[in-house]
Amino acid sequence: MTGDPGQGVLFARESPPASVLVIVTRRIGDVLLATPLLRSIRRAWPQAALDALVFEGTQGVIEANPDLRRILRVPQRPGFFRHLGFVLGLARRYELALSLVPGDRPTIYAFVAGRRREGLLLPMRREAWKRRLLHRWVPYDRHDTHTVLNHLSLAEALGIPAHPEIVVSWRRSDAEQVEALLGPESGAPLAVLHPYPKFNYKMWRREGWIEVAHWLDGRGYRIALTGSGADAELAYLSELARRMPSGTLNTAGKLSLGGTGYLLSRAALYVGPDTAVTHMAAAVGAPTVCLYGPTDPVTWGPWPKGHVAPRNPWERFGSQSTGKVRMLQGVAACVPCKNEGCERRIESFSDCLQALPAQKVIAAIRDVAGITAPGSHV
């Protein structure tokens, strides 16, 4: 449902827009979860010049996206004059601008950039000034609606079919780099582990990862670790790899997000926390075990490959499965509390995840990967 039903569908009986800007100035996962709307727009209006505006540092997840013409980037905390110049450069460049984030800056970007403007906003009185900047607004439900479905509500408002498909894309050079890292085909199934989320409150304990890796090694899996090139992450994964089975492939800092996407497409199994890479694994169809603590899966659970909208793939409480994805929630009555750690700051840890037993994760791996016999991956 749209914020002002009286306005009708924006382009249902008009010529399709010649140019569209989709604004997703948030984290990497938000940008990835915008790809179903990008795909919907591209399928409905194949001739439109479709661009995305994202924060600097988040563009990697859509750099190879075939639906886009161009990616515009803005720093998360830009200097005043640089930012002013950027905003003025957007002035009415697009026939249609869509804001997928109900914040001040993305709404202003849409107002400046689009001759027609539409966006997601919180249905609150204090947001009234933003509504005046848009020709049409759609309520953003941050409690009971999955982020993919929030984004696709704009497709409904535009009068175009929704395509609920997360698009994970890579270049040929990404695939070639991954194949070179993997080396000659050994026949061993590949298990990809992503132990290090950006924030501590999403982190599982390192001893658990080590136990899982050795268990997988004993069943014939080859282990690959994924991670960014951030110093703390490199140090963490380097130390972790030394305690894992010999032959563990540590790709941290070596792959782009496109390369990581290709690696995931080759995986027979993926295990990871609440992070963009976990969303990517679910989207490419890898058998996935995801470890969730404070985060509400109703709004931020991975969107499994082939899942059909408008049904939400996840309930709020309890470990559960959808498609090839098995979600484990932290072991505490307060889960999901939606807080950033037990101390309510991103540097703090979440007791519910720290207490999650490795044997529970291994049981989920058995389930999602179909491991029935000791010493075998089948």
pLDDT < 50 positions in the chain: 1-2, 5-7, 13
Enter the pTM of the model.
Answer: 0.93
Handedness of CA 154, 158, 159, 165 (dihedral sign): negative
Residue with tokens 């282990």: 223
* Mean per-residue pLDDT of the chain: 93
Helix (H) or strand (E) holding 54: strand 49-55
What confidence score (pLDDT) does residue 224 get?
A: 98
Give the C-alpha separation, 284 to 100, whole Å.
Answer: 23
Give the C-alpha separation, 214 to 163, whole Å.
Answer: 40
What confidence score (pLDDT) does residue 102 get?
A: 96
Residue 11 DSSP label: S
Residue with tokens 């994924």: 226
Give the C-alpha separation, 96 to 231, whole Å.
Answer: 40
What confidence score (pLDDT) does residue 1 get?
A: 38
* C-alpha separations of 249 from 180, 192, 265 in Å: 12, 9, 16
Class of domain 5-158: alpha beta
What confidence score (pLDDT) does residue 261 get?
A: 98
Residue 220: exposure state from Cβ atoms within 10 A (0-12, 13-18, ≥19):
middle
Helix axes 104-113, 80-89, angle to 10 degrees: 40
Q: How many CB atoms lie within 10 A of CB 246?
A: 8
Residue with tokens 């607004």: 137
Q: In this predicted model, what pLDDT tens digit does every residue of 38-75 receive, in sequence order?
A: 999 999 999 999 999 999 999 999 999 999 999 999 99
Determine the residue type at 367. D
> Tokens at residue 137, please?
């607004």
**Which residues on neighbouring strands pair with residue 98, listed in sequence order?**
22, 118
Residue range(s) in the chain whose domain bears CATH number 3.40.50.2000: 5-158, 173-369
Determine the residue type at 331. V
Give the C-alpha separation, 27 to 300, whole Å.
Answer: 12
> Tokens at residue 2, please?
């749209």
> Can you name the CATH fold of 173-369?
Rossmann fold (3.40.50)
